Structure 1
C-alpha cells in the first residue's frame, strides 16, 4: 500500500496501460477541471527499481560531463610541470594570473546560465556548452604566449560557467532531499577522479612529445579537448530533460517521482513546488541570507579543491621529485578523495544529516594543512607535507558536495533555487581566484602563505556552518507554533512563498 508521501495528482491522459493498478477517485481543482487522484500501489522493491533506473540514466552522464569539465580546467597544472611555462615564456606571476582570470566569467555568468537552463532543455544546453569548452581546450594546445593563454582561459570560463551549477540544480528536479547527497557525491566524485585521471593521462600523453612537431604538454590539451567534443556530441542523445518527459518511466512511476519532491506540512498536506516564473525569485535567489552564509562554507572547500588541483603537482615537484613523478604522486590523493566523497555522502543520506559531517570534514582539512604548514616551515620531512596535502584534499571534496546538498533543498521555489544555486556555486568558486594567488613562485618550495591562507578560510567555513545550524534551528522552532497560520493558507500561497512559508522546515 502506498504511503501518504506517494499520493499525488495525475491527469487521465497520463495513465499508461502498463501502469500498476491503484485506487482512483475524483476531485475538482481551482479551475473546476476534473482530475484523477491516484495512489500508486508500489512496493519497496519497485521504488528501489525506479531509483536505479534514474541512477543508471542520469548519474553516469553527469559524472562524465563534470569529469571532463574539471579535467579541462585543471590540466594546466600538469602541463606546467611538463614545460609549458618555459615553452611559451611565462614569467613571474603570469601563470597565477592565467589561473585567476578563468574564474571571473565562470563565477559571474552562472546565474544567467542557470536561467537559460530553465528556459532551454538540459539536453540542448549542457551538451552545447560542452562542445564550446572542448573547442577552447583544443585551442589551448596551440598557444604561443601569455596573451594566447589568457584569452583561452577567459573563454574556458565562459563556456564552463553553466556546467556544474546546471548539473547540481538538474539533480534537484529528480531526487528527493534525502536521496540527494549520495547522487551529488557520485556525480561530484568525478572531479576528484579527474585529478587522478589528469595525472595519469599527462604521464602517458607526455610521451607523445615531438609528434607533429608539438611538445608533449600541448598534446595534453589537444587530446583531452577532442575527447570532450566527442562526448559532447553523444550527450545530445543521452540527457533526459525531466521526470515528466522521461521515457524510461511509465506514468505511475513519473507520478511517484514527482510526489517524492513535494513537501509535507505538519497538518499532513502536501505542497508541490511552484514552477511559475516571477522576477522576484531572481532577487530572492541573489540576496538570500542563507546562500551568502553558505558561500563562506563553499569558499573553505573550494580554496583547497583549486589550490591542490592547480598547485599540488608543483608542490610535490618542489619536494624533489621530477615532473613525471609529481603527476603520478597526485593519483592516489584523488582516488582517496573520490572514495571518501561517495562514502560520506552515502552515510549522510542514511542518517539524514549534513552539517555535522561538514564540520568533521572541515576539521580534517584543517589538520591536513597544519601538517603541511608545519612540515614546510621545518624544511621537511617531505612525507609530512605530502600527507598533509593528501588529507586536506581527501576531505575537501566530500565537504563541498555535502554543502551543496545541504543548502539547495533548503531553498524554494524552483526559480529561486536555480538562481541561488548559481550564486552559491559561482561566487563560491571565486575561491579559485584566491587560491590561484596564494601559491606564488617566490614562496616555493615551502608555500607557507598558501597553506596559512587555506587554514584561515577553513576557520571561516567552520564558523559559517555553526551560524547556519543555529539560525535554521531557531526558525524551525518558531514555525512549529504556526499551525493555525498554515491551515488558513491555500496550497498555492504556501508554494509561492517557498522556503519563507510557515510550513517550510529547514534541514540540518
Structure 2
C-alpha cells in the first residue's frame, strides 16, 4: 500500500509524478472535497464543480462531459430500455399472445440475470487490458441485434435463450462505464457524474412505458403485435448510439487517443488522476494481487452494500406497480404510463443525492445511502401490510423507487476507497454489480413469485430487511474507511 508521500502512478509516467507534498484525496478525510489548485472553493462550485477551476480545466471538463457523459447516458438509456422492455411487453399483450400464465416472467428475468452476472467481472478485468472504445460499443451492438430477434419468438423457451445472451452482452456496460468514469473525474466531480449517468436508466424505464403506449397504434402492422414493435423500435434506437461509441469513446487517460482532446488536455487528464491518487494502468492480475484484493475489507463490504441496495430498491426489479394497476382494472395505456411517475421520482432523487453528496456533505457518500435505505424501509413495510389507505398505497408505489439513485454514489465511493489500485478498482466495481445480480437470480423466485402478484407480501417483507442492511453497511463502511485513513496517516499497513 502506497504511503501519503508516494502517490501511485502508472509505471510509464512515474517520472512526471506530482511532488510528494501534493494532497491525495484518498489520504485525506473521506468526507472532504479536494480544493481546486486555483484557489479556495466558492459558492459557484455548489452549482457546478468546474466553475471554481482554471479556464483550461473548465474547457477540458466541458469536453469530457459532452462526450463521455453523453455517450454513457445514452448507452445506459438503451441498455435499460432493452433490459426492461420485456416487462412492458409482458403486461401489454405478450403474456396472452404466447400463453405465459405461470412464472415465465420470473424465469425470463432469471435468464437475463444469469447471463449478466457471468459476464461482469471478466468484462471489467478485460477493460484494464483492452481499449474501452472497442469493447463497450461491441457489446452494445450485440445486445441491440439480439433484442430485435425477440420479435421472432413463439414460446417461452426461445425468449429464455435470447434473454440469457442479451444479459451476457449487457453485462459489460454499466460496471464498465462506471470504471471509465472513475478514471477521468476527481472526487468533487465524481458523485454528480456517476449519478447523472445512472439517472438515465430511470429515464430509459420511463421511455419504455411511453414507447409501449405509442406503439400500440402499430398493432397488426406488417403482421406484428404492438409488443413486437417495441423490440423493433428498441433496436432502431440502439444501433446508431452503439456504433457512435467506436469513434467517440476516449478510453482512459493512460492510453487515450481521442481526436477531440489536445495533447495538453491528455496530459492534464493524467496529472489530475495522479494528484487524486488514483492509480492508472500498469499493474497485472498476479497471485499476490488477487490475495491483496480478496483479503481486503474493500471487496466484501462494498459488494455487500450493493447487494442490499440492488435487491432492496425499486420493488427489487419486479413490475409490482404495473401488476397492481392491472389487477385494479386499469387499461394497457395506464398500466404502462402511470409507473413512469416512479421513474421520474428516481431521477429527481438521483440529482438530489448527487448534489447534496458533492456539495452539502462535501464528498461524503454515506448520508444519502443511509437516508434512502431508511425511507424505503418505511415504504416497503407499508406495502407489506397492504391494507393501508389507497392514497398512501399510491404514494408508496410512486416513491418506491426513490432509492435507485444511490447506485452512482456507491460506485463513486468504491472509486475513492480503491483509488490506490487500478486493477482492484476494476474488479471491485464489477463484483459489486455481479454479486448483486447473483442474489437477484434466485431471490425473486422465492419471494417475488409471479403467481402472488400483486400483493407480494414475502417480497416486501424481505425488502424491508434489505433496506435495513443498506443503512447498516453505509455506517460500517464509513467507519472502516475512516480507520484506514487514520492507519495510513500513521504509516500502518492496511493491506489486510
- State whether TM-score is above 0.5: yes
In 2, Cα distance between equivalents of 1:388 and 1:43: 42
Q: 1:272: Cα distance to partner?
A: 5.3
Question: Is 1:126 aligned to 2:121, yes or no?
Answer: no
Structure 1 residue 426 corresponds to structure 2 residue 434: yes
CA distance in structure 2 between the aligned counterparts of 1:262 and 1:285, rounded to whole angstroms: 21
Unaligned runs of 5+ in 2: 17-36, 40-51
Specify the alignment match of 2:495 in structure 1.
500
Give the equivalent residue in structure 1 for 2:298. Answer: 290
Change (3 A) 1:271 1:453: closer
Q: How far apart, CA to CA, are the structure 2 residues paired with 1:203 and 1:105?
A: 29
- Does the CA-based 8 Å contact 1:348-1:354 persist in structure 2? yes
By how many angstroms is 1:9 displaced?
Answer: 11
Residue by residue, what CA displacement relative to the aligned partner does 1:274-308 show, whole Å, maximum 9, x if unpaired?
62223243454456422222223212221224634
2:195 & 2:279 partners in 1: Cα distance? Answer: 26
Tell me by how many angstroms 1:440 deviates.
2.0
Q: Is the 8 A contact 2:248 2:258 kept in 1?
A: no
Greater Cα offset, 429-438 or 149-158: 429-438
For the residue of structure 2 that corresponds to 1:393, the secondary structure is coil
The whole-number CA distance in structure 2 between the counterparts of 1:65 and 1:124 is 14
Q: Is the CA contact (8 Å cut-off) linking 1:111 and 1:419 kept in structure 2?
A: yes
Once the two structures are superposed, the pairs formed by residues 53-92 of structure 1 within 5 Å of their partners are 53-92=63-102
Task: Report the alpha carbon displacement of residue 417 of structure 1 after superposing the two structures with TM.
Answer: 1.2
Q: Is the 8 A contact 1:275 1:415 kept in 2?
A: no
Residue 359 of structure 1 deviates from its aligned partner by: 0.5
The 1-side partners of 2:72 and 2:280 are apart by 24
- The 5 A counterparts of 1:142-221 are 142-221=152-231
Q: CA deviation at 1:47?
A: 2.1
Aligned residue number for residue 384 of structure 1:
392
Counterpart Cα distance in 2 of 1:271 and 1:114: 17
Counterpart Cα distance in 1 of 2:89 and 2:245: 28
Q: Note closer, same or farther for the CA distance 1:40–1:259 as it changes in structure 2 (3 Å cut).
A: farther
CA contact 2:279–2:421 (8 Å) conserved in 1 = no
Query: How many Å apart are 1:112 and its aligned residue?
Result: 1.0
Q: Does 1:301 align with 2:334?
A: no
Structure 1 residues 175, 187: closer, same or farther in 2, change over 3 A? same
Residue 366 in structure 1 maps to residue 377 in structure 2: yes
Query: CA separation of 1:313/1:288 partners in 2, compared to 1, >3 Å: closer, same or farther?
Result: farther
Q: 1:206 to 1:288 in 2, by over 3 A?
A: farther
Q: Are the counterparts in 2 of residues 372 and 384 from structure 1 also a CA contact under 8 Å?
A: no
For residues 433-465 of structure 1, give each alpha carbon's deviation from its aligned partner in whole angstroms, at most 9, with x where no partner exists.
Answer: 256333323322322112111111111222222
For the Cα contact (< 8 Å) 1:79–1:217, is it kept in 2?
Answer: yes
The C-alpha deviation readout for 1:450-481, integer Å capped at 9, x for no partner, is 21111111112222222212222223223322
Q: Show the counterpart of 2:364.
A: 353
Which stretch has the larger CA shift, 271-280 or 210-219?
Answer: 271-280
Contact residue 285 and residue 417 of structure 1 kept, 8 A: no
Distance (whole Å) between structure 1 residues aligned to residue 244 and residue 422 of structure 2: 28
Identify the range of structure 1 (42-51 vs 232-241) with the bigger mean alpha-carbon deviation.
42-51
CA–CA distance in 1 between the matches of 2:118 and 2:433?
Answer: 10
- Distance in 2 between residues matched to 1:400 and 1:319, nearest whole Å: 32
- Matched residue SS, 2:100: coil
User: Shift of residue 271 of structure 1?
Assistant: 8.1
In structure 2, what is the Cα distance between the partners aligned to 1:239 and 1:216?
A: 35
Aligned counterparts of 1:83 and 1:214: Cα–Cα separation in 2: 12
Partner of 2:233: 223
In structure 1, the partner of 2:282 is 275
Instruction: Flag the structure with more relative contact order, 1 or 2, with Cα contacts below 8 A and sequence separation at least 6.
Output: 2
In structure 1, C-alpha distance between the alignment counterparts of 2:247 and 2:170, rounded to whole Å:
20
Partner of 1:140: 150
Q: Would the alpha carbon gap of residues 219 and 273 (structure 1) be closer, same or farther in structure 2, given more than 3 Å must change?
A: closer
Tell me, in whole angstroms, the C-alpha distance in 1 between the residues paired with 2:10 and 2:165: 45
Decide whether the 8 Å contact of 1:206 with 1:217 is kept in 2. Answer: yes
Higher-Rg structure is: 1
Counterparts of 1:352 and 1:385, CA distance in 2: 35
Which sections of structure 1, spanning at least 5 residues, go unmatched? 16-38, 265-269, 486-496, 502-508
Whether the 8 Å CA contact 1:172–1:180 is kept in 2: the answer is yes
**2:326 paired with 1:314:** no
- Following superposition, the deviation at residue 195 of structure 1 comes to 1.3
Alpha carbons of 1:287 and 1:110: their partners in 2 closer, same or farther (altered >3 Å)?
farther
- Taking a change above 3 Å as real, the CA distance of residues 234 and 53 of structure 1, as seen in their structure-2 partners, is closer
**What do the CA deviations read for 1:90-120 (whole angstroms, capped 9, x no partner)?**
2321221111121122112211111222222
1:209 deviates by: 0.9
| Whole-Å separation in 2 of the counterparts to 1:190 and 1:132 | 20
- Structure 1: how far apart are the matches of 2:461 and 2:193? 33
Q: Quick one: structure 1 residues 480 and 234, their matched pair in 2 at CA, closer, same or farther if it must change by over 3 Å? A: closer
